[in-house]
Amino acid sequence: MKITMLGTGSAFAKAFNNNNAIIEAEGRLLLVDCGITAPKALHELGYGFNDLHAVLITHIHADHIGGLEEFAFQMKFVYGRKPILYIADTLVRPIWEHSLRGGLQQEESETIHDFFDVRPLTVGTSHQLMPGLEVEPVPTRHIPNKPNFSMLFNGFFFYSGDTVFDSDLLESLVRDRGVKVIFHDCQLHPPGAVHACLPQLLTLPAELQKRVYLMHYGDDQPDFVGRTGAMKFVEQQVTYEIERLTPDNNS
């Protein structure tokens, strides 16, 4: 399993693209979130929407779904097929009614199902997305009263979909679930109101920090290189082999 970060920036970053990614497994590509900058970032890496097997959405903020309208229109009118959309079952109606309907609805296209092959995901269940890749959605806290999900891939790779600091969850994932690698959103400055902030993440035990790779950061990220304890930054437009990032292999 490989992951290429299309972007690693926070919602307001300008030097970095939106925090979206491509996961490759057995030759197929899964887009994880499709923010405002995703279409351009894909183009810069030589990909088009038709190269993707499916898209997986964590939550409905613009830096994670702002490119879905272009994705839907291109797939319908340029490529003539419905792309697979994996999304938590509780988000299917809100993403259409609150985000996509205004731009996509037309006389002959009245629902989200006219544009996407929607595959709802249920919490507590592992779903096969494509050969060699399974995911379990994990509810995490981000904005009060707005559903948000992080993703556990293949039982050992945890990818946060934006979350406040939750040391109990992280420690439980490692201790009880055998998680080896954690890609975690990181607000560099306190307070960590809707994202985990760096000072909070630095309170994690050193052995757990070795598993953590930081993303979704602000434009002043270069000022923090070397100031993240045992944690490391992931970089946009760089491909990582997830198995090589485990504590036994990342020296």
Q: What's the mean pLDDT when you consider all of the chain? A: 97
What is the model's pLDDT at position 217? 98
15 lies in which domain range?
2-245
Asked, for residue 219, whether it belongs to a domain, the answer is yes
What is the model's pLDDT at position 8? 98
What is the model's pLDDT at position 107? 86
65 in Cβ contact with 71 (< 8 Å): no
Integer CA distances (angstroms), 107 to 99, 101, 104, in order? 18, 12, 10
What is the model's pLDDT at position 108? 85
Angle among Cα 149, 97, 82 to the nearest 5 degrees reads 80
What is the model's pLDDT at position 13? 97
| Phi, psi dihedrals of residue 9, rounded to the nearest 5° | -90, 160
User: 102-122: per-residue pLDDT in tens?
Assistant: 999 998 889 999 999 999 999
Asked, for residue 250, whether it belongs to a domain, the answer is no
| Phi, psi dihedrals of residue 80, rounded to the nearest 5° | 65, 35
Asked, for residue 218, whether it belongs to a domain, the answer is yes
Asked, for residue 141, whether it belongs to a domain, the answer is yes
Q: What is the CATH number of the domain that holds 72?
A: 3.60.15.10
The Cα 38–Cα 70 span in angstroms is: 10
The Cα 58–Cα 183 span in angstroms is: 14
Asked, for residue 175, whether it belongs to a domain, the answer is yes
- How many structural domains are present in the chain? 1
Asked, for residue 70, whether it belongs to a domain, the answer is yes
Asked, for residue 204, whether it belongs to a domain, the answer is yes
Confidence tier at 174 by pLDDT (50, 70, 90): very high
